Amino acid sequence: MKEKVKNTLAVFSVCLPAITFIVWIAAYCWLLNGDRYKAFMQPKLRPMLILALLLLLIFVMALISQLSRKKKETNITDVWLRTAILFVPALFLWTVYGQSLGAYALSKKTFDADEIFSIPQTQPEQLSIMDSSVKSASLLDLLKNSDEFEGTHVATEGMVFRSNTIAENTFKIFRFAIICCAADALPLWILVNSEESQNLENETWVKVEGIFKIKKINGRQIPHIDAEAVQPITTPAPEKQYLFFY
Amino acid sequence: MLKTFPITAEVNHHHSDKQKSGKASRWAQICFVLLAICLLIFFRNTPQFNTMGITFISIVLEAFPFMLIGTLVGGFIEVFVPQEKITRWLPEGRFMTVFTAAGLGIFFPVCECAVVPVVRRLLNKGVPLSAAVAFLLGGPIVNPVVAASTAVAYFFDWSIVVNRLAFGYFIAVAAGLLMSAFFTKTQAIRPDTLENQRFFVHADSAESGVNTSLRKKIGLAVNHAANDFFDIGRFLVIGAFLAASIQLLAPRYLFSPIASTPVSSISIMMVMAIVLNLCSEADAFVAASLQWTLVPISAQLAFMILGPMLDIKLLLMYGRIFRNRAIIVLSAITFLLVFLSMIFRDFMIK
């Protein structure tokens, strides 16, 4: 009986590489469908994902065509172990999809601890508004073209981050911008001065409207919005939560 | 016909070594699977797990396509390029071979994940250790894609691009030469890999001979590639998992160099390169984001040069090519060369 089980396992083990690749083909199809992959990586890498899918298909075909000629696996444990390890990211993908980098990741992915802590209260400044019409812009656009937006009426979206070290009527509006994948995500944030924000919890998605200004705090240039309106909005789908360089 | 090799005392010694390291490695892999499953069951839906999980999956998803390409190229080299041809292509003389190999990335732009399976196959086709190491380290830096991404990240500051590629090239050459001075090929390369490959070559030679149809040869090459991916892919997965965990445990601001001195800032940026495991096409953007801080350019360069040569996932993948001792020496040499050359650069600039 034991011998029979061992034999069956050995025969089945021969198919394991092909089965593993089929699982990954399914994972890539699922990611490409509805652009779900954008919850993890840059849209410009889509062709690479399609290429990976095609290569895996070719690998499976090659493995299946050689199945009849392949001898029984002698090192069954090793083959099962490889399969289990290659299944781990697929399981994580299935579990983690729907979540995104939030306030916790902000504290881990910031390069300078001072950026997160010890933000003093600042008074809204009297500004000469150059353009009264509201310009909608992402945090990335605002920060990239801060000179162009300075002093203008802007609207932007992102998550709320507050902490004990940030003044009461101030919070950070933040999002992550991806270069290639979420591992290299850089947190982008702007300080928002607003009286309406007291009840907003961390990671609440909001739309902020107000005057964009670069202020000097502790000798550093810090982007600010003196908010006129802060409105909670529906949390975007996971694939729409990140900003992308390029 | 399958040829067998004479079993010598050396092979027996290698065999017992292989069994010992094989057992330890197997247990480590079992622990990894169990740990991953425990995390999935007990910690899912916590911000820590989500942050780590997203980082882990992102690294795997980004690296898999490049690794698939690498294994495919390796498979085709195995079946279509005879050993004599490779030996004929290589320039004569050890130095010339190493200098050529370190710059091959210009013609074959490969990233660090793709280069490992290619080098594994090249070593079996008679490429000398020094040249293989030079290509392994130089290929992912000295290439047009990396040059372009660095240029864009630094707003076309060409001095940064030239510095990165030039230092990357010379460090790869020096590491290749030093490795061949310390080790012979059989001392550095895993015996089981070489033995398996030899068997493969002989077993396949009957099929990949002149009479075999092109279709069959292609099938064989793809089959090699698939098996390589199934073998090396697990080390990428474990490396990505470790990298994501370390990113979680050691936040970036801890590395933020208090660093007014070049020694500390360069060292910290090098440790960060090993820990973050970024792709060589993305790391320039992370380095460039430090431009406004006190981190000197030499430290940013150290980050961009060491990352594609040495990081956690690469260390595990190197385990499929080199013996443990060779990996330790290669890592130490690479780390020291990058560190010293960046200190030297900083000193010269000042």
**What are the structural domains of chain A?**
2-96 (no CATH), 103-244 (2.40.50.140)
Residue A116: what pLDDT?
41
Q: What's the average model confidence in pLDDT over A44-60?
A: 93
CA-based nearest distance A228→chain B, Å: 30
Minimal-distance CA residue of chain A relative to B57: A89
B54 vs A96: CB contact, 8 Å cut-off? Answer: yes
Angle at B76 between CA B183 and CA A15, to 5 degrees: 100
Rounded mean pLDDT of A171-199? 86
Q: What is the pLDDT of residue A122?
A: 47
- Identify all chain A residues contacting B30, using CB atoms and an 8 Å cutoff: 81
Instruction: Report the pLDDT value the prediction gives residue B306, as an integer from 0 to 100.
Output: 95
**What's the pLDDT at B27?**
87
Q: Which of A187, A194, A188, A191 is nearest to A217 (CA)?
A: A191
**The residue to which tokens 């086709």 are assigned:** B125
Rounded to the nearest integer, the mean pLDDT of chain A is 84
The C-alpha angle with vertex A72 and arms to A66 and A78, in degrees rounded to 5, equals 100
- CB-based contact (8 Å) between B303 and chain A? no
* Whole-number pLDDT of residue B195: 57
CA distances (Å), B114 to each of A74, A143, A154, B68, B111, in order? 29, 35, 44, 7, 5
Spatial separation of the C-alpha atoms in residues A43 and B25, rounded to whole Å:
37
| Whole-number pLDDT of residue B65 | 87
Interface of B with A in 232-251 (CB under 8 A): 233-234, 237-238, 240-241, 243-244, 247-248, 251
pLDDT digits (tens, 9 = 90+) for B60-73: 898 888 888 888 88
Contact A112 B256 (CB under 8 A): yes
Q: How much of chain B is in helix, strand and coil states, percent to nearest 5?
A: 75, 0, 25
What is the pLDDT, as a whole number, of residue A133?
78
Give me the residues of B, 269-298, that contact A with CB < 8 A.
276-279, 281-283, 285-286, 289-290, 293
Per-residue pLDDT at B13: 46
Whether the pLDDT of residue B33 is over 70: the answer is: yes
Residue A91 CA to residue B237 CA, distance in Å, equals 12
Chosen for mutation from B58, B66, B67 (greatest number of chain A CBs closer than 10 Å) is: B58
Residue B24, CB-side half-sphere exposure with 13 Å CA sphere = 7
Q: Considering chain B, what is the average pLDDT of its residues?
A: 81
In SS3 terms, chain A reads as CHHHHHHHHHHHHHHHHHHHHHHHHHHHHHHHHHHHHHHCECHHHHHHHHHHHHHHHHHHHHHHHHHCCCCCCCCHHHHHHHHHHHHHHHHHHHHHECECCCHHHHHHHCCCHHHHCCECCCCCCCCCCCCCCCEECCHHHHHHCHHHHCCCEEEEEEEEECCCCECCCEEEEEEEEECCEHHHCEEEEEEEECCCCCCCCCCCEEEEEEEEEEEEECCEEEEEEEEEEEEECCCCCHHHCCEECC
Q: What is the mean pLDDT of residues A191-212?
A: 87
Q: What is the mean pLDDT of residues B160-178?
A: 96
Does position A242 have pLDDT exceeding 90, yes or no?
yes
Looking at A20-24, A129-133, A150-154, B265-269, which range is the least confident one? A129-133
**CB contact at 8 A, B140 and B112:** yes
Domain ranges of chain B: 21-349
Under the banding of pLDDT at 50, 70 and 90, the label for residue B156 is confident
Interface test with A, best of B57, B213, B277 (most A CBs within 10 A): B57
Lowest mean pLDDT of A30-44, A121-135, B2-16, name the range: B2-16
Res A71: pLDDT: 64
Q: Which structure tokens are listed for B332?
A: 């130490």
A45 to chain B: which residues are within 8 Å by CB? 62, 65
Q: Which residues of B touch A77 (CB under 8 A)?
A: 26
Tokens of B57: 């999956």
Predicted local distance difference test score (pLDDT) of residue A225: 93
Return the residue matching tokens 């001392």: B187
B30 touches chain A (CB under 8 A): yes
Considering only the C-alpha atoms of chain A, give the largest distance between any 2 of them, rounded to a whole number of Å: 87
Best probe of the B interface among A111, A201, A241, by most B CBs < 10 A, is A111
CB pairs under 8 A between A and B: 187
User: Is A186 close to B286, i.e. CB distance below 8 A?
Assistant: yes
CA A179, CA A184: separation in Å to the nearest integer? 6
CA distance B97 to chain A (A): 32
Over residues B257-263, mean pLDDT: 67
> A75 CB contacts (<8 Å, ≥6 apart)?
none
Nearest alpha-carbon partner for A26 in A95, A97, A78, A93: A93
Residues of B in contact with A82 (CB under 8 A): 230-231, 233-234
> Two tokens at B133?
């190491």
A54-112 pLDDT, tens per residue?
A: 999 999 999 988 777 766 666 788 889 999 999 999 999 999 998 889 888 888 777 65
CB contact under 8 A, B279 and A45: no
Quickly state the pLDDT bin for B290 (edges 50, 70, 90).
Answer: low
Query: Is B189:B198 a contact under the CB 8 Å cutoff?
Result: no
DSSP type of residue B91: P
Inter-chain residue contact B237 with A107, CB threshold 8 Å: no
pLDDT, tens digit, 9 for 90 and up, residues A166-182: 777 888 999 999 888 88
Calculate mean pLDDT across residues A177-195. 87
Residue B117 belongs to what H/E stretch?
Answer: helix B112-124
Measured distance CA(A56)–CA(B311) in Å, rounded: 26
Could you tell me which residue, B26 or B90, shows the higher pLDDT?
Answer: B26
Q: What does the angle CA B60 – CA B62 – CA B67 come to, to the nearest 5 degrees?
A: 80
The partner residue sitting opposite A48, judged by closest CB among B44, B65, B286, is B65
Confidence of residue B202 (pLDDT cuts 50, 70, 90): very low
- CA B138 to each of CA A9, A183, A215, B132: distance values in angstroms, whole numbers, following the listed order: 43, 23, 44, 10
Average pLDDT over residues B304-314: 90
- Cα separation, B130 vs B97, in Å, equals 8
Which chain A residues have a beta carbon less than 8 Å from that of B60? 89
Residue A196 pLDDT greater than 50, yes or no? yes
Q: pLDDT-derived band of residue B298, with 50, 70 and 90 as boundaries?
A: very high
The average pLDDT across A124-131 equals 47
How large a percentage of chain B has pLDDT more than 90? Answer: 32
CB-based contact A242:A185 (threshold 8 Å) = yes
Q: What is the pLDDT of residue B255?
A: 63
More confident residue, B191 or A237: A237
Low-confidence winner among A96-100, A241-245, B202-206, B326-330 (lowest mean pLDDT):
B202-206
Between A2 and B118, the more confident residue is B118
The token pair that represents A3 in the structure block: 């011998």
- b/e burial code for range B109-129 (CB count within 10 A of at least 16 → b): bbbbbbbbbbbbbbbbbebbb
pLDDT higher than threshold 80 for residue B99: yes
